[in-house]
């Protein structure tokens, strides 16, 4: 198959050695990892920006390494001839009309969804970036029309698949990790308790465990300072969300995705607190999967996907309804060196079952099901 992935989720700041900007977090898991795996297994894959041919109507892809830091093309090396176009977070007003022309030209159109954009909370920075009143050209209203014109929507969770089937047929392909990206590290004693993420996209989440974090640090079972990996000067500081003095929280700056695994080296026990709203109920368990791949035991709010990760793969300790006593109990349990060492080793072994090497065929089969037999077999 010849597959073109179109994404807007890439860095406007960093460059990889090959000149391409690294993908963002969702772009990495929903585009980068499956695209790389499919290419490794013989498919012809290109990742970049979407463009439309004025005469034929087909979609083409401008590869990421042809894009400058302002998002403009550095040259005219647009690639054409794709059997399938997979769009990720593509919300431009012109795209829904162009899809009809592309489908008439014989292309199959897939959209991939990793977040519940119909329920994004105002506390999330993306709410304003995708709201029709704030962004007339690219917003969730245009996105819904784009989805309605799709042949298929691939979804990272069953919740998302159930919601978005009102727009087009859906299928679930959960996130996978690439274990080649992850290394473990020796745990410190006392262990460092921490969280990895950007506060601009996690409004209301850290706060649900704030009291439990303060109480747990006061026990002396952990290092005296909580660690936030992913700090940014323009985002709210984690210490203010946790209700802690600034001196009680150490930080590591936000990093592009290719350096992201190194952020996890600064903590020994992770947390995934989630405010119980629809947006979070729909989320995948990818942060917990990352912790596990890095050999870091963690406690997470019990959402559908964290319950699935626990019950199906034995990964993670979950906290029901964000009860503070349960948060404190879970973190006390993981402070024990023997418990932590056993849990880290067991979880890393278990998470290998969610490696992309085991799951790339899910992407292949979803795409092949949309194509004529001769094209799908190419």
pLDDT of 286 over the 80 cut: yes
Q: Name the pTM for this structure.
A: 0.95
Same domain, 369 and 326: no
Residue ranges making up the domain that contains 57: 2-176+356-376
Same domain, 186 and 311: yes
- The span from the CA of 73 to the CA of 19, in Å, is 13
Same domain, 76 and 217: no
Same domain, 240 and 269: yes
365 confidence band (pLDDT: 50, 70, 90): very high
Same domain, 156 and 199: no
Same domain, 117 and 160: yes
**Residues with Cβ within 8 Å of residue 245, at least 6 apart in sequence:** 239
pLDDT of 69 over the 70 cut: no
CATH number at residue 242: 3.40.50.2000
Same domain, 118 and 154: yes
What is the chain's mean pLDDT, rounded? 94
Q: What is the pLDDT of residues 332-360, one digit of tens each?
A: 999 999 999 999 999 999 999 999 999 99
18 confidence band (pLDDT: 50, 70, 90): confident
pLDDT of 41 over the 70 cut: yes
Same domain, 338 and 224: yes
Cite the DSSP H helix spans in the chain: 25-27, 33-40, 95-104, 125-129, 140-148, 158-164, 210-218, 238-242, 260-263, 278-281, 286-293, 304-313, 324-335, 337-351, 356-368, 373-376
pLDDT at residue number 11: 87
Same domain, 85 and 138: yes
The count of domains in the chain is: 2
């Amino acid at each position: 198959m010849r597959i073109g992935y179109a994404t807007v989720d890439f860095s406007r700041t960093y460059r990889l050695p090959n000149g391409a900007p690294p993908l963002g977090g969702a772009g990495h898991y929903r585009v980068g990892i499956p695209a790389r795996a499919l290419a490794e297994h013989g498919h012809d894959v290109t990742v970049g920006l979407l463009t439309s041919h004025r005469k034929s109507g087909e979609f083409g892809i401008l590869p990421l390494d042809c894009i400058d830091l302002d998002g403009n093309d550095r040259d005219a090396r647009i690639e054409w001839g794709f059997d399938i176009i997979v769009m990720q977070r593509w919300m431009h007003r012109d795209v829904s009309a162009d899809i009809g022309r592309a489908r008439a030209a014989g292309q199959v159109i897939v959209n991939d969804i990793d977040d519940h954009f119909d329920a994004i909370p105002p506390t999330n920075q993306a709410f304003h970036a995708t709201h029709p009143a704030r962004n007339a050209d690219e917003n969730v209203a245009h996105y819904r029309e784009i989805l309605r014109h799709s042949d298929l929507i691939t979804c990272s969770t069953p919740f998302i698949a159930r919601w978005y089937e009102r727009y087009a047929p859906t299928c679930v392909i959960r996130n996978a990790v690439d274990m080649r990206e992850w290394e473990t590290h020796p745990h410190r004693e006392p262990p460092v308790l921490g969280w990895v993420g950007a506060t601009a996209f996690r409004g209301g989440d850290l706060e649900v465990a704030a009291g439990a974090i303060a109480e747990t640090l006061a026990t002396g079972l952990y290092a005296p300072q909580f660690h936030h990996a992913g700090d940014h000067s323009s985002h709210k500081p984690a210490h203010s969300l946790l209700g802690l003095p600034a001196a009680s929280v150490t930080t590591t700056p936000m990093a592009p995705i290719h350096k992201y695994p190194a952020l996890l080296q600064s903590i020994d026990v992770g947390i995934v607190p989630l405010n119980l709203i629809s947006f979070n109920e729909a989320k995948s368990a990818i942060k917990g999967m990352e912790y596990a791949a890095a050999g870091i035991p963690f406690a997470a709010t019990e959402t559908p996907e964290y319950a699935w990760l626990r019950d199906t793969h034995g990964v993670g300790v979950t906290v029901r309804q964000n009860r503070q006593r349960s948060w404190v109990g879970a973190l006390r349990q993981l402070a024990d060196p023997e418990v932590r060492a056993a849990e880290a080793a067991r979880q890393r072994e278990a998470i290998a079952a969610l490696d992309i090497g085991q799951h790339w065929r899910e992407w292949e089969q979803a795409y092949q099901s949309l194509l004529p037999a001769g094209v799908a077999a190419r």
